[in-house]
Amino acid sequence: MVRCCVLYHSLDTFLAAAALDTMRRYVTWIDIALVANDAFVPLLFELILAPDSIEQLRAAAVGCVLAILQKRMVPRQKVALLRSLPVSRVFADPNLVIKVPYLVTGYAAEVLECCKKLGFTDIDSSTPVELLEEALPSVFYVMQESEEVELGNVVEFLSDYVITMRTPLQKQAVYLGHILEFIRVQICYDPAHRNNLDILDRIGREEEDQMGERRKDLLVLFCSICRLAPDVTQLFIQNLLIRALSSSEASVEEVEATFTLFYRLGETVNEEAMRTGSGLLRELVQMLLSSQFPCLSHRMVALIYLETVMRFMKFVQDNPQYIPYVLAAFLDQRGIHHPNLNVSRRAGYLFMRAVKLMKSKFVPYLDMILRGLQDTITQFTTSDWCSKNLECSVSEDGSQIFEAIGLLIGMEDVSPEKQSDYVAAFLRPLCQKLNEVLLDSKAQGLEESSAKVLTLQQIIMALNALSKGFNARLATSICPAIGIMFKQALSEVLEILIAFPNIKILRNKITSFIHRMVDILGGSIFPCLPVVLKQLLMESEPKDMVDFLVLVNQLISKFSTSVEGILEEIFPAIATRLIVILSKDAFPSGPGCNTEEVRELQELQRILYTFLHLMANHNLSSVFLAPNCRGYLDALMQLLLLAACSHKDVLLRKLCVQIFMKLIKDWCTNCNVDDKVPGFRSFIIEKFATDCCLYSVLDKSFEFHDANTLLLFGEIVLAQKVMYEKLGSDFIIHFVSKGLQAARCPHELTEQYYQKLQQANDIKALKSFYQLLVENLRQQQNGSLVFR
């Protein structure tokens, strides 16, 4: 092989390269001494080092040397091998380094691996630290100048190198600076796509996605350096900021990369350092907030700038002297007044987050903030919305500005008179615009996809967002004028629901607004409820019924028995629809049955049982017995029993058992003749007691090792206790004779069960015993019992 290479490397390049490639393939499994010797190594490096060496031969020789370097062996032997190779001659020639980047990075990676195994302390001549120190300058040179080497390999090597450091020495700090600069260069966008990224067209989106993937490992490496050497990183960021401010030729890509790294630096700063501005952080944040950086008109730069400002808000929280700078950044052309809609909307969202974090400290600047937002609010109410205005994400629809305003106005530090004036100033134009569009829509009609629908939607969302700053105490007691204004706004919004009940998108937004009004208007909302509930009940699709029941559940939770009369009016309509929709055949099983339609039915079923549970536990069980509601009782009890016995959702089964317990307490007395509901006692004894409390737990699918199942079991045991207290001997006689004895329960276990049941307060003992009884019956029956 050696002779072939010597004879033919100048005569037949292809043959010599083929010989070297063949040798490379054998290196991994033959004795290393057969190739790492005085015959092969000088020849290989002659082919690599010779200025006139043909590239094909040089590449083949590099492949052989790499195979030798990567040969698996004991670390100390590997170090001896690395020392024996004249790689330093390669490092001495920068022009040659660029031609063999894989040799440089491969050698450095093997040296680093030996350092990790042997340690970095110079304890003997086998420590490879000096080899690594010799290789690193060439590695950094390759990183900066070569386009051949794969980015992933370089980042992996650098990550390993950074991980091995403890406290960086001065020379290592210099190396870290090289790595930081390498990261900065690699995360810069291609200037060719600058306009695409600004308008974010298809090409821009593709470029963003590709860069996001490219940056992942690079930014992880950057964060590792931030944690290892915060002083080095902060100095690096400071120099980048100074360069961006001082250079008239700073590019969009460079400024965007600078802010991206600054943002990531903020991710690594601990809470104490953030609060105090340790190191250079104070200077960096001051530069960020007080300086007018170039290129902020570009969408990409503006977005990362605002994100970076938000990242360091906790510093501002403890250093309130910077609040004016923060407000300026959000409210001027860098933020909410930015000409790009995406930037403006994102700024509004981030401003709302900043207000939530620092609203008490923003109150002194309230007048300034409202003045700064006045034209934005005016534009919001005068714009004719179209679909392109709503292309931002759901969380950035423009309403966040109103939420921020509401949160600030709703602070107790603001006087009630000012609060009332501020609310009127923002509600009035919104309601005026709403009425204008509504009148026009009534006259000309309204289609779901029209711009008018989008305009109404935006106004309702703005009203909803504004209301989030107020609670019932403020709106009804401290400043009743606010409650009156919101009640008027609700009346006007309900006009939309009355006029156009079938436009889903508006219906959903109006329902959300009603939820807010229930919270802040309290009992004063009652006059509006009949209209609200009547209109919302006009639709009977499962999803619509879910939204409706969620609202009714909120009313029950908030007002309890005060909504009894309203519930008596709407319960027949609810029951009629749900009994049909949630029939036994509504939930098919088997492959292909997990459809969107089935999932909506399952959600409706869950909400229904939550609704019945709330009614039972808020002393509203009398609604079931009202003359116009009583006819639905039997069907509902059958649905509840089926769910309590066999529903797949164990927690929903627990809910149904709790409903039965509450109804037993409400409707049954110790004396049979005084029961409120004829037939309910026998239904509980003959059906619920045996089917749910015995047969369902005997089924092997009832898994005692599951935590949720144990919770259900506890409720089932508690239900037996309630039945014994309310139904007395009627319950125990039937349960023993038709239940336990039918399951062939031994007489002594039956006696013990009766004794445990009679013990007044020891529910824990009853539960433990009943579990043992069930497990005993399971073993005894050995699966022969046929469960009902």
| Mean pLDDT of the residues in the chain | 89
Name the least confident of 65-69, 100-104, 582-586. Answer: 582-586
Task: Tell me the residue length of the chain.
Answer: 788
For residues 638-646, give the mean pLDDT.
Answer: 93
Under 8 Å between Cβ of 257 and 301: no
Q: How many CB atoms lie within 10 A of CB 635?
A: 16
What whole-number distance in Å separates Cα of residue 349 and Cα of residue 398? 8
**DSSP state at residue 740:** I
Query: Does residue 509 register a pLDDT over 70?
Result: yes
Task: Note the pLDDT of residue 7.
Answer: 46
Contacts for 371 with CB less than 8 Å, ≥ 6 apart: none
Give the residue-averaged pLDDT of 708-726.
95
The whole-number average pLDDT for the span 281-304 is 95
SS3 422: helix
Going by C-alpha positions, the residue among 78, 112, 2 that lies closest to residue 46 is: 2
SS3 for 142-163, per residue?
Answer: HHHHCCCCCHHHHHHHHHHHHH
- Residue 785: predicted pLDDT: 43
Residue 20 CA to residue 568 CA, distance in Å, equals 92
- Cβ pair 767, 717 in contact under 8 A: yes
CA 209, CA 231: separation in Å to the nearest integer? Answer: 32
Q: How far apart are CA 426 and CA 428, in angstroms?
A: 6
Residue 126 has pLDDT above 70, yes or no: no
Q: Is the pLDDT of residue 2 over 70?
A: no
Rounded Cα gap, residues 345 and 339, in angstroms? 11
Predicted pLDDT of residue 389: 52
For residue 142, give every residue at least 6 positions away whose Cβ sits within 8 Å of its Cβ, in sequence order, or none.
97, 98, 101, 104, 105, 149, 154
Distance (Å, whole) CA 47 – CA 58: 6
Structure tokens at 249: 């030729």
Helices 129-145 + 75-84 axis angle, to 10: 60
395: how many CB neighbours lie within 10 A of its CB? 11
Judged against a pLDDT cut of 60, whether residue 261 lies above it is answered with yes
Q: Up-side HSE of residue 108: CA atoms within 13 Å toward CB?
A: 29
Number of CB atoms found within 10 A of residue 221's CB: 23
CA–CA separation, 226 and 222 (whole Å): 6
pLDDT at 383 over 90: no
Question: What are the φ and ψ backbone dihedral angles of 293, each rounded to 5 degrees?
Answer: -80, 150
Band of pLDDT at residue 123, cut at 50, 70 and 90: very low
**pLDDT category, 166, cuts 50, 70, 90?**
confident
Distance CA 780, CA 628 (A): 49
Tell me what the mean pLDDT of segment 749-777 comes to.
Answer: 88
CB atoms < 10 A from the CB of 172, how many? 19
pLDDT at residue number 384: 62
* pLDDT over threshold 70, residue 682: yes
**CA 388 → CA 350, 397, 451, 509, distances in Å?**
21, 12, 10, 19
At residue 327, the 3 state secondary structure works out as helix
CA–CA gap between residue 93 and residue 90 (Å, rounded): 6
Give the pLDDT confidence of 548-560 residue by residue, as tens digits: 999 999 999 999 9
391-440 tens-digit pLDDT: 555 567 788 999 999 999 999 999 999 999 999 999 999 999 999 999 99
What's the mean pLDDT in 512-538?
Answer: 92
For the record, the structure tokens of 43 come out as 């020849």
**How many Å apart are CA 425 and CA 281, to the nearest integer?**
40
Evaluate the CA torsion angle 577, 649, 615, 670 in order and state its sign. positive
Tens-digit pLDDT profile for residues 597-635:
888 888 999 999 999 999 999 999 999 999 999 999 999
- Say what the pLDDT of residue 546 is: 93
DSSP symbol at 687: I
Per the CB < 8 A criterion, the answer to whether 294 and 250 are in contact is: yes
Query: Quick count: other Cβ atoms within 10 Å of Cβ 378?
Result: 11
Q: In this predicted structure, what is the pLDDT of residue 218?
A: 96
Residue 648 has pLDDT above 60, yes or no: yes
Cβ atoms of 397 and 458 within 8 Å: the answer is: yes
pLDDT of 609 reads 94
Please indicate whether residue 195 or residue 598 has the higher confidence score (pLDDT).
195
Closest CA to 184 of 241, 267, 102: 241
Tokens of 440: 């026009």
pLDDT of 723 reads 94
- Region 278-293: what's the mean pLDDT? 94
The predicted pLDDT at position 395 comes to 60
Give 312-367 pLDDT, tens digit per residue.
999 999 999 999 999 999 999 999 999 999 999 999 999 999 999 999 999 999 99
Whether residue 731 contacts residue 753, with contact meaning beta carbons closer than 8 Å, is answered with no
> Is 165 in contact with 228 (CB distance < 8 Å)?
yes
Q: Using DSSP, state whether 72 is helix, strand or coil.
A: coil
Terminus-to-terminus CA distance in the chain, angstroms? Answer: 85
Q: How far apart, in whole angstroms, are the C-alpha atoms of residue 584 and residue 327?
A: 59
Burial 121-143, CB ≥16 within 10 A → b, else e: eeeeeebbeebbebbbbbbbbbb
Nearest to 238 by CA among 296, 291, 175: 291
**The pLDDT value given to residue 584:** 59
| pLDDT of the residue at 8 | 47
Residue 553 phi, psi dihedral angles, 5° rounding: -60, -40
Q: Is residue 182 pLDDT above 60, yes or no?
A: yes
Answer with the residue of higher pLDDT: 763 or 465.
465
Q: Report the sign of the C-alpha dihedral through residues 747, 751, 756, 757, in that order.
A: positive
Q: Is the dihedral of CA 292, 294, 296, 297 positive or negative?
A: positive
Residue 39 clears pLDDT 90, i.e. is over it: no
Average pLDDT over residues 133-152: 89
**669 or 8, which is more confident:** 669
**What is the predicted pLDDT for the residue at 445?**
84
pLDDT tier at 539 (50, 70, 90 boundaries)? confident
Q: What is the pLDDT of residue 669?
A: 83
Name the residue among 202, 99, 215 with its Cα closest to residue 152.
215
Region 686-697 average pLDDT: 95
Average of pLDDT values for 168-176?
Answer: 89
Q: Is 1's pLDDT higher than 80? A: no
Q: How far apart are alpha carbons 319 and 32 in whole angstroms?
A: 64
